[in-house]
Amino acid sequence: MTQRPAFVPWFVLPSVLTALGLMVAMLTVLQYSIRAHIPGSLDVGGYTLDNFQDLHKSIYINAFVTTAWLSIKTAFFGLLLSYPLAYALVRTRSGWMKSTILIIAITPLFLGEVVRTYSWIIVLGNSGFINSALLAIGLIDKPLQLMFTQTGVVLALVHVTMPIMVLMLATGLSHIDPAYRRAATSLGAGPIRAFLTITLPLSLPGIVASLTTAFAWTFSAFATPQLIGGGKVSTVATLVYQLGFSSLNFPFAAALSIVGLMLTVLLLATFKWMTHSLQRVGAH
Amino acid sequence: MLRKTIALTLLSASLIATNANAADKLIVSTWGGSFKDLIDKAIGQEFTKQTGVEVEYVTGGTIDRLNKAKLAGSAESDVTFTTSHVGWLYTNDGLFEKLDMSKIPNASHLVDQAKLSPNHIGVWGYVYTIGYRPDMVPEGITFDSWNDLWSPELEGMIAFPDWDPSHIIAVSAKLSGTDAEHWEQGQDKLKALVPNIKAFYTNDANSQQLIATGETSVQLLLSMNAYHMMDEGVNIKLAMPKEGAVLGVDAMGINKGSEQADLAYQFMNIALSPEVQASIARINRGSPVVDNAQVDPEIAKLPGMLTTADQWGATLDTDARLRAEKTAEWRKWFWENIMAH
């Protein structure tokens, strides 16, 4: 039997150090959340739970609900648009078509979120591409208000998350043994039935993974809700920035962050529990 | 032996060169974009011309740089440009040196509103006032008074900065017969403005984009930004309400522990020279904070330019220390009662 070299366990060290660093950062945030804010100073005061008391107000609860709802909508609509793209990417036999779809899917990743968001401001504006096109073809007689609305924020966030969702779905689809589909076809199943009874169930692990990732990513999104939302769409991240970071009230920002993190964990755990049986269907 | 000698010589030379380079530059912390260009063109290049020392710029947002300075523990820059009230936060946290004014002789000409604290002084002034697209507002509206912002004809048309409500708070307090220190008396007035608010912009670039594209045709904005957009060809007008525009003063200080303090004093003295102050007005329409600057009369008469004591006195001037203390409280109230609705 070949013995494992003695230095192999040391390869775990970087990840251990990273995990330790993250844990220290989280503990620091937790510590800040129970300290008092001193107006006009960057220092913090004694221990207190006052920072959490304000979060019971309905406007803060609304912000948490808005964030969760935006994340769910982004994940759902992202899936609707990403799945066909991922399916085409995996199923096409043409090399150049594969490359074209891949480039279209991942090119947005080459631009930062801020650059993409500024581009969406131009597209969504009253004089932007969408309104100009709809006015030109006569579908509307005055511009639709897309900026500073949840609709505009979701549109831009879907664009931000789509590249990752496409890649995750394509990975899941590519692991499905084509023999299953061939077997279904040989037994008389048409393309749609084969997709609904074979491909879709077997791609569920990829669907769940991409939905989870899109949800978690969107929950902490900042630049897009901040710029497209224009202060009218409040999310946890924009609140942390406006009420905490920019106001130098770090204790309150820390409290918002801790509650936001707990809500994310709770929602993701709930989603995992709900989809547990579905994932077992896709395991093969 | 020869090889070792050469290697040692090269190593020593590189170390000496490194140390010489460190002494040959002044590190200035500032905002990016047009403000960094202004500081370089008006002050930095003149400083290099007079002293032979290069200026290196470190850029970032006002609060970002404050946080970095707090966390750094030692001076990472020598001179910091910031806003008047955030300068008090630097001061309160011991991040600025106490200024030896005898080393800044040009500061003897500072206007009162620019004498901020023992640790930071003003470098240029501006106003926050009403900027609007004359081609997009209802006919006849000219914003002679701040009260015009509350006009029902402006429903859903106005944008405000999301990071600092102190300007509109000062305005509402004034219109309610008081001042920023007693701002609570203006709260009802502020709440009545909600139907006219369309959005909140998050930074200068966002402000410029929103008004240039017509997305928000009326804004409470910084006069220097408005003039920058006019230079870019955007059709914007600035109004000077009869109650007075809201004064803003940008400031500078020397970072505590700076090893280039002497150079920093020279830099600040050059910044306050009448010639440099006049060039700041010419380049970016920043008002001179010294009373001996000779500003081009055509520039001096522009709305928002402050070149006489009467003009400085006519502004709504919220004490910078009060702003520093009240920022968190104002922002929280503003978000809960205005932005969240």
Distance CA A184, CA A195 (A): 10
> Tell me, what CATH number does A121's domain have?
1.10.3720.10
Quick check: A235 pLDDT over 90?
A: yes
| CA-CA-CA-CA torsion sign (A264, A270, A272, A274) | negative
**In the prediction, which pLDDT does B1 show?**
56
Q: B279 and B123 in contact (C-beta within 8 Å)?
A: no
Residue at A20 is within a domain? no
Please check whether residue A50 touches B, CB under 8 A: no
Structurally, chain A folds into a number of domains equal to 1
pLDDT of residue B20: 44
Note whether B197 and B326 are same-domain residues: yes
Residues of chain A numbered 247-266 and touching chain B (CB < 8 Å): 247-249, 252
Q: Searching chain B, which residue's CA lies closest to the CA of residue A58?
A: B336
B-facing residues of A in 63-102 (CB < 8 A) are 63
Q: Whole-angstrom Cα distance, residue B43 to residue B273?
A: 10
Contact B329 A232 (CB under 8 A): no
Q: Which of A32, A120, A123, A247 to mutate: most B Cβ within 10 Å?
A: A247
HSE-CB of B50 using CA atoms within 13 angstroms:
15
Give the whole-angstrom CA distance, residue A166 versus residue A87. 9
A248 Ramachandran zone, left/alpha/beta (phi>0; psi -120 to 50)? left
A39, A127, A232 member nearest B328 (Cβ): A39
Rounded to two decimals, the pTM is 0.82
Range of the domain at A250: 57-282
Rounded Cα gap, residues A87 and A20, in angstroms: 39
Residue A225 pLDDT greater than 80, yes or no: yes
Residues on B contacting A at a C-beta cutoff of 8 Å: 63, 66-67, 70, 88-89, 92-93, 159, 162-163, 198-202, 206, 209-210, 213-215, 321, 324-329, 331-332, 335-336, 339-340
- For residue B58, which of B78, B84, B42, B38 has the smallest C-alpha distance? B78
CA B239 to chain centre: 20
Return the percentage of chain A with pLDDT > 90, whole number: 51
Please check whether residue A108 lies inside any domain of the structure.
yes
Same-domain check for residues B160 and B216: yes
Q: What parts of chain B have a pLDDT lower than 70? A: 1-23
- Give the count of Cβ contacts less than 8 A between chain A and B: 95
pLDDT tens-place string over residues A26-40 = 999 999 999 998 876
- Lowest mean per-residue pLDDT among A17-21, A157-161, A266-270, B9-13: B9-13
Q: CB of A39 within 8 Å of any CB in chain B?
A: yes
Evaluate if residue A193 carries a pLDDT over 70.
yes
Tell me, what's the pLDDT at B17? Answer: 46
pLDDT single digits (tens) B244-289: 999 999 999 999 999 999 999 999 999 999 999 999 999 999 999 9
Give yes or no for residue A245 having a pLDDT over 90: no
In a domain, A106, yes or no: yes
Query: Measured between CB atoms, does A56 come within 8 Å of chain B?
Result: no
**What does the alpha-carbon distance between residue B166 and residue B86 come to, in Å, rounded to a whole number?**
13
- What confidence score (pLDDT) does residue B188 get? 96
**What does the angle CA A15 – CA A21 – CA A24 come to, to the nearest 5 degrees?**
140
Output the domain CATH number for residue B305: 3.40.190.10
| Domain count along chain B | 2
| Vertex A137 angle, CA A131 and A141, to 5° | 60
A134-182 tens-digit pLDDT = 999 999 998 999 999 999 999 999 999 999 999 999 999 998 888 888 8
Please indicate, yes or no, whether residues B176 and B265 belong to a single structural domain of this protein: no
Q: Give the pLDDT of residue B3.
A: 54
The residue in chain A having the minimum alpha-carbon distance to the alpha carbon of residue B330 is A247
* pLDDT value for B202: 84
Q: Which domain holds residue B282?
A: 2-126+248-313
CA distance A234 to B94: 34
Mean pLDDT on A208-216: 93
